[in-house]
Every structure is written in C-alpha cells, then in structure tokens.
Chains A and B, each alone.
Chain A
Amino acid sequence: MRDRLIFAGQLGFTLLVAAFLVVPVVLSISAGVTVNYFRGIQSGVTLQWVVQVWNLYAGEIGLSFLIAFATLAVTLVVGVPAAYGLHVKGGRLSRVIEEIITLPLAIPGLAIALALLLTYGGFGGFRQSWLFILTGHVIFTMPFMVRSVMAVFASVDIKTLDEGAASLGASPWTRFCNVIVPNAMPGILAGSLMVVTLSLGEFNLTWMLHTPLTKTLPVGLADSYASMRLEVASAYTLIFFIMIVPLLVAMQMVAEKGEKK
C-alpha cells in the first residue's frame, strides 16, 4: 500500500515536471501553425508561416547542418587521434594538454568569440566565410569528443590492446583502424552525438561570429524573434524541432547499438 502511494507520488511529480517543460514547447509549436496567435487556435490552422520561414531561412538551416557536420568531421579527425595520443603518452604534458583542450568548457562562448575576432578578424576572407564559425564550433565542441573517447580508452585498457596488435605485426595505422577505433566506438558515437547537438544549438559564440551572410539556425531564430511576428518565430521553432529531433533519435539509436556490441 505504502509502496503504491510512493509510486503514485513519484509518477505524479515526474509528470508534473515533464508537463512544466513540455507545455511551453507545445504552445510554441502550436503557435507556429495558428493563423493568428492572439485570437487562438480557433482562428484556424495554417502552414503559411512554416512556408514563409522555409523561404526566408532555408539558407541558415542548410548552413547550420553544414557547420554541424563539418565540426563533427574535424573533431573526429583531430579529436580521436588526439585522445589516443594523450592516453598512450600519459604523463604530465598530456594532462596539461588535456586541460587546455577542456578550457573552452569553462570560458564563456562570448569570450572565445572575442578572442577569435581579435586574432583573425583582420583576415577578411576567413572572417566572412562560414569557416570562421566552424573554427569557433570546433574549439567549443572538441573537449566533448576528446573527453568521451578518453573515458572509453581508460575503461578498456587500450594500451595493452594496442601492444597486443603490435606484437602480431600490425603497423601503428593498421592498429589504429583495426583495434583502437572499433573499441573506442561507444565513446566516439557518444562524442559525435554531443558535438552535432551542441553545434546545431550553439548561439553565444555563433552570434558574435556571424555575418549577415553566415547565419545559423539559432542565430536566425533570434533574428526572427526580434523582427517577425510571433507566429513566424514559432514556425521557426517548429522547423528546428522537425530537423533536429529525428537526427537526435537516429544518433541515439546508433550509439545504443554501438554500446550493446
């Protein structure tokens, strides 16, 4: 009886919290398909705002995904070998480097952006291209990739596996492909998931770094909140959701499959 009560209490509380978090999202999304938000849903349901947003911001949406996956590519190509190197080398120097890589987590995005602007702002071509934002995103997301890969390395004794493969005649590169990467897969997938999500949703740093021609989804969102009618901004949120939720679910599924293996 008592267990039941506790269970009911917990369930109720959980639902309440969930509702607290979900209701604003639902309201916001529903606003995006309402003809006139102030008159409420009885004013009619429409896709006109969604279409309008798509027409206005398709470029931003595309750029966001381009940057997210470019960020992923860079963090994979640089981050995984870096994590491997740091783990195998060990010692004080490795720890210092690890700390430096992790630093951007603690520094506000605005400060990183400012530093980038101060340093590279003068290089016109670079400053105006999306690669500038990419640089910021790579700095910001790299610790997540390196950390989650290193966590796996620590748990599977990757050094001995590497030595085992070496004793069987495998060259460093072959070992990296056959043994290191497959066994680091859970960490690589978890890291990738975080990198893509963080890059897609990143605002602080991107807002500082963007130019009128290089805007990402969240920057466009801020833009539309500031300058468009509420329905348009809400339609924007809706599109954001439609784009990102399936992506997240897909990556989560891949990550779970990798972990089970």
Chain B
Amino acid sequence: MSGIAGHGAAVHIENCGKTFPDGTQALAPASLDIVSGETLVLLGPSGCGKTTMLRIIAGLETPDAGGRVLFDKTDMTAVPIEQRHVGMVFQSYALFPNMTVAENIGYGLKIRGVDKAARAARVAEMVALTNIGGLENRRIDQLSGGQRQRVALARAVAVRPRVLLLDEPLTALDASLRDRLRSELNSLLRSLGITAIYVTHDQAEAMELGDRIVVMRKGAIAQIGTPREIYFAPQNRFVAEFVGAANIVEGPVASGRLTLPGGWLALNDAADNAAAVAMIRPETIGIVAEADAFLRGTVESVAFIGDRQRLVVTGAANKPLTVDAPNTINVRAGERVGLSVTPQAVRVLPKED
C-alpha cells in the first residue's frame, strides 16, 4: 500500500522550545524522534503545548534559537511550510469554502502541477479511501461535520505527504461519530504506513491510534512510550492519573512490602522507603475471600456498569480504592473483602513535591 501513501519521513526534533512574543513559554526545549511510518500521538491537557509542537514540525511556528527540525536528516528549520511537503488536518478542518469537495482534495496536486487526468484519478482514489463517494461536487457548507473531517483527511493525504500532521481532528464531532471515525482513521493510518503525528487530549484516542505516545504537561514532555508502557508503567504521578483511572496509594516500603492501613502489598524489587507512592490500576485488583488476602477492606459501594462492576473499597489504603471487578462476582456494599494484587500490578512512582 505504500504506493498510496508515498514515503514517510523520519522526523527528528532537537531542542525545540517556543516562547511567544508576549513572553508565554508554550514549550520548554524538547527533543523527539519519530520513526518513519510511525504514528506518534501528542497527548496532554489543554494548553500543554501540543499544538505548538505540531506547528513547529509543520513549519507554521519557528522554534526558539537553538531548536532544529529535521526530516530524514535534512534540516528543515528554515524551510517554510509550503516547501516541507507535509499534510495537515486542522481542528477546524480549514476547508476552502470557495471550492467543491473534489477541488479541495485536488488543490495540493494542482499546486504541484499534476495534470488534470492524473489529478482526477488521485482524487477518485482519495474519495474511495475516505468513503465520501457522491459528495465530490458538493460545496463545503453542504457537508456534515463527519464528512468535512473525511474531506480534510483526503485533502491532506492526496499529496503523499512526507509527514501527516493532525491536530485534534475528531474533537469537533459528537461522541458516537468520534468512536467510529477513530477506528476508521486507525486502519487508514495503518494501511498507509505514513509517518503521522497526532495531537489529542483524549487518552482513549491516543491509546488506539498511537504506536507511541508522548504525554505532555505544561510545555514539557512527561513521558514517551508505547500505549502499554504509558498505561502500565507510568513514570510519574501525572502520567498515571492522566492516562486511565489510577489508584494512588502511599505508605512505607520495607523488605519488598508496601504497608497500608488494611495490610500489605508485595512489590517487585523495591528499595526501602519511609514514604513511597505507588499506582494500582482498578482492573488489576482482584476480589477474594477476606481470609485469603494480605490486604483487606470494606466495600463501600457497588456500581454495575454492564461489562464490569466498579467497587469502591475503604479501609485498605489511606484513600478509598477503586476496583473494577468482573460482572459475575456477587458482592454487596458493607461486605468485608480481601484484595489480591500481583507485584507486577503495583507501580512505585518517584516522589514528587
């Protein structure tokens, strides 16, 4: 399928920071490597600098002095966006209201001097790829949000960009459409094998789409890793809490055991520590008979969610623990239960101020 995508560049970002003229430091100097063909997701809360990073890669923003952007080892820092050969999908789509759908998709090809027949063929290919057959002659204001999103994607991919940049492309859509388009987008990115950088503040989107995820916080990179690494092995409390649900527990560690008010947890080779902080995902905690467990607590509430039930257990740790239990076990509020947690499921986090 690489014929459809063309060739994806490896992107190297070196010490790119951004301070705006008004003094706002949107991005502290950061370095990042994106492998050719990879989908990298920039994930973080609003205002953390995701868009700024994306715009630096696109060439819409120049990094502060000392920062460099390289595509396939070629320095692109001083190259304007129109010569970087990127494809960009904007949150607001930025489709041209004065052109039809087909003209929008073919615009980049027209600029590159592709002749009419070849252009029409490529546009038809893109229309088929993004499932918007029949809309070619519509005007942009005659499209629904989901259709606009597809046109924006088709337009960006049509030019066989070296890097595809997407800034929250699904945020403007309603939830169910977002879910559907997310999985469509996922298979599209996989089949194209294109280098893609995807900005989102939605962790589910990041998990599904990203080969790797860059979690950002306040203009700095908090962690880079695969979705599994980010989820199961967060390097700090911010990542643990931002990605998925997390129980944060605190207590002293001695000889491989974390002592909590309701008992103790076994740890994998943890150094002794008078006040350790650890994370446990709700679905890694098993509910067992009180007698069989080293950690015990009282079920405070049970919420049946369908595919699972969410319990809140008090007395086990210093704060109530959230436990995602299978929907088949029978527990009631007020019951005493034992909690079983494997050592691998407990992630000790570095102490933060």
State the Cβ distance, B47 to closest chain A Cβ, in Å: 19
Contact A163–B97 (Cβ < 8 Å):
no
Contact A183–B92 (Cβ < 8 Å):
no
A119 is an interface residue with CB less than 8 A from chain B: no
Interface size on A, residues (CB 8 A): 21
Q: Which of A95-119 contact B (CB under 8 A)?
A: none
Contact B98–A179 (Cβ < 8 Å):
yes
Q: Which of A48-91 contact B (CB under 8 A)?
A: 91
Q: Mark A155-194, 1 if CB is under 8 A from B, else 0.
A: 0110011011111111100100011001101000000000
Q: Which of B276-304 contact A (CB under 8 A)?
A: none
Contact A171–B82 (Cβ < 8 Å):
yes
Q: Which 10 A-B pairs have the closest CB atoms?
A: A164-B94, A168-B108, A167-B88, A182-B98, A160-B94, A169-B111, A166-B81, A166-B82, A170-B111, A169-B82
Contact A161–B96 (Cβ < 8 Å):
yes
- Note all chain B residues with C-beta closer than 8 A to A170: 82, 107, 111
Majority secondary structure of chain A interface residues (helix, strand, loop or mixed): helix
27 A-B pairs (CB sep. < 8 Å): A156-B97, A157-B92, A160-B90, A160-B94, A161-B96, A163-B88, A163-B90, A164-B90, A164-B94, A165-B96, A166-B60, A167-B58, A167-B81, A167-B82, A167-B86, A167-B87, A168-B108, A168-B159, A169-B82, A169-B83, A169-B159, A170-B107, A174-B111, A182-B98, A183-B97, A185-B98, A261-B98
Q: Which of A171-219 contact B (CB under 8 A)?
A: 171, 174, 178-179, 182-183, 185
- Note all chain A residues with C-beta closer than 8 A to B107: 165, 168, 170, 178
- Note all chain A residues with C-beta closer than 8 A to B80: 166
Which single member of B21, B95, B112, B159 contacts A164 (CB below 8 Å)?
A: B95
Q: Which residue of B lies closest to A170 (CB)?
A: B111
Bound CA–CA A112/B85 (angstroms): 50
B212 is an interface residue with CB less than 8 A from chain A: no
Contact B155–A168 (Cβ < 8 Å):
yes
- Note all chain A residues with C-beta closer than 8 A to B156: 167-168
State the Cβ distance, B238 to closest chain A Cβ, in Å: 31
- Note all chain B residues with C-beta closer than 8 A to A157: 92, 94
Bound CA–CA A165/B81 (angstroms): 10
- Note all chain B residues with C-beta closer than 8 A to A161: 94, 96
Q: Which residue of A lies closest to B113 (CB)?
A: A169
Q: Mark B60-87, 1 if CB is under 8 A from A, else 0.
A: 1000000000000000000011110111
- Note all chain A residues with C-beta closer than 8 A to B94: 157, 160-161, 163-164
- Note all chain A residues with C-beta closer than 8 A to B155: 168
Q: Which residue of B lies closest to A181 (CB)?
A: B98
Q: Which of B141-172 contact A (CB under 8 A)?
A: 155-156, 159, 165
Interface size on B, residues (CB 8 A): 26
Bound CA–CA A185/B156 (angstroms): 26
Bound CA–CA A165/B156 (angstroms): 10
- Note all chain B residues with C-beta closer than 8 A to A164: 88, 90, 94-96
Bound CA–CA A166/B108 (angstroms): 9
Bound CA–CA A168/B164 (angstroms): 11
State the Cβ distance, A187 to closest chain B Cβ, in Å: 13
Bound CA–CA A171/B82 (angstroms): 6
Contact A168–B98 (Cβ < 8 Å):
no
- Note all chain B residues with C-beta closer than 8 A to A163: 60, 81, 88, 90, 94
Residue of A156, A164, A165, A182 contacting most chain B CB atoms (<10 Å): A164
Given A163-B90, A165-B107, A168-B156: 6 more A-B contacts, CB < 8 Å: A161-B96, A167-B58, A167-B81, A168-B108, A174-B111, A182-B98
Bound CA–CA A163/B111 (angstroms): 14
Using known A-B contacts A163-B81, A164-B88, A164-B90, determine if residue A169 contacts B96 with beta carbons closer than 8 Å. Answer: no
Bound CA–CA A185/B96 (angstroms): 13
Q: Mark B191-205, 1 if CB is under 8 A from A, else 0.
A: 000000000000000
Bound CA–CA A261/B96 (angstroms): 13
- Note all chain B residues with C-beta closer than 8 A to A178: 96, 107
Q: Which residue of B lies closest to A162 (CB)?
A: B94
- Note all chain A residues with C-beta closer than 8 A to B111: 168-170, 174
- Note all chain A residues with C-beta closer than 8 A to B90: 160, 163-164
Q: Which of A220-240 contact B (CB under 8 A)?
A: none
Q: Which of B201-237 contact A (CB under 8 A)?
A: none
Bound CA–CA A165/B94 (angstroms): 9
State the Cβ distance, B88 to closest chain A Cβ, in Å: 4
Contact A160–B159 (Cβ < 8 Å):
no
- Note all chain B residues with C-beta closer than 8 A to A179: 96, 98
- Note all chain A residues with C-beta closer than 8 A to B98: 179, 182-183, 185, 261
Q: Which of B4-61 contact A (CB under 8 A)?
A: 21, 58, 60
State the Cβ distance, B68 to closest chain A Cβ, in Å: 20
State the Cβ distance, B84 to closest chain A Cβ, in Å: 8
State the Cβ distance, B185 to closest chain A Cβ, in Å: 18
Q: Mark B93-114, 1 if CB is under 8 A from A, else 0.
A: 0111110000000011001100
Bound CA–CA A163/B165 (angstroms): 13
State the Cβ distance, A162 to closest chain B Cβ, in Å: 9
Q: Which residue of B lies closest to A179 (CB)?
A: B96
- Note all chain A residues with C-beta closer than 8 A to B159: 168-169
State the Cβ distance, A171 to closest chain B Cβ, in Å: 6
Bound CA–CA A160/B88 (angstroms): 11
- Note all chain A residues with C-beta closer than 8 A to B86: 167
- Note all chain B residues with C-beta closer than 8 A to A185: 98
- Note all chain B residues with C-beta closer than 8 A to A168: 82, 87, 107-108, 111, 155-156, 159
State the Cβ distance, A152 to closest chain B Cβ, in Å: 11
Bound CA–CA A182/B85 (angstroms): 25
